[in-house]
Structure 1
């Protein structure tokens, strides 16, 4: 068995606060990782730590980029145990997208439509939980109860049947990983 890691976060940015206000969810963002040292997370979000736009497919770690500027961000880390084949399919799909990342955009309209349970898909446009859900569905790691474009971070918590490995602050998670 291999492990896919799902990181849920809620930063104190204006956008995150707005999403939390609109949804009342504990977490407002989700990322996916494939290595136990959590050296690289993938998601859709801001490309620059201090500005919400431009946004798109991003690679980040616990010790650089946006997460490093927001060490007090609440987070939860889940593991999803999958077969080697499923793991490879998910990882390869993300890597394929990363090689073409300039073609991918953040789906602001999709995010708004998700709040109102209106499916909205546009080729190469994603928001964070839609991206993670689609990767997990395409690789057959999970069967989604609704379209990926309607999945919120709270849904990801319910869908991932694995253990919650950590809850706390991003800075604490980074410190615990670095001591492994």
Structure 2
């Protein structure tokens, strides 16, 4: 058995605040990692710390960038334990996307339609939870209750298969992660 890690966050950026206003969800962003120390960790997010655009597939680092400068934001870390074959299949799907990461863009239209519960899938476009959900669905790591393009970060709070490892803020998580 192997573990896949999901980090849910809610920052105080304009995009996160706008998502929160539309959804009232506890968390507005999700990232995925295949390592206990969460590095590397990936999502579809901003490419630059101080600007929401451009956005695309990103390696989200605790040592530099957005999380390093925003350690106060709330987060929750979850673990999904899967069979080795599924773990490596999910990792392969991620690596296939990473090999062409420059071709992927942020799916703003999909994000808006997700709130309206209208499925909208575009090739090479993702929002964060669509990105993570597609990896998990296509690898059969977890059975989703809806299409990846309709999944929100907060939907992951409802999965019994996920074990909550931590709830707090990013700064404390970084300290916790360093103990792993």
Task: Give TM-score scaled by structure 1 length.
Answer: 0.97
CA contact (8 A) 1:42 1:59 kept: yes
Give the match for residue 165 of structure 1: 165
Question: What pairs with 1:53-132 in structure 2 (closer than 5 Å)?
Answer: 53-132=53-132
Q: Deviation per CA, 1:90-135: give whole Å up to 9, x if none.
A: 1111111111100111000000000100100110100000111110
Give the match for residue 10 of structure 2: 10
Question: What pairs with 1:7-46 in structure 2 (closer than 5 Å)?
Answer: 7-46=7-46
Distance 2:14 2:158 in 1: 26
Q: Deviation per CA, 1:132-158: give whole Å up to 9, x if none.
A: 111000000011111110000111222
CA contact (8 A) 1:29 1:153 kept: yes
Structure 1: gaps spanning 5 or more residues: none
Deviation at 1:84, TM superposition (A): 0.3
User: 1:62 is paired with a residue of what secondary structure?
Assistant: coil
Give the match for residue 47 of structure 1: 47
Deviation at 1:162, TM superposition (A): 2.2
Q: Across the two proteins, how many residue pairs are aligned to each other?
A: 180
Distance 2:18 2:155 in 1: 18
Over aligned residues, Cα RMSD in angstroms?
A: 0.9
Give the match for residue 145 of structure 2: 145
Deviating 4+ runs (over 6 angstroms): none
Give the match for residue 177 of structure 1: 177
User: 2:162 is paired with a residue of what secondary structure?
Assistant: coil
Deviation at 1:160, TM superposition (A): 5.8
Task: Give TM-score scaled by structure 2 length.
Answer: 0.97
Q: Is the alpha carbon distance of 1:160 and 1:60 closer, same or farther for their aligned partners in structure 2, counting shifts above 3 Å? A: farther
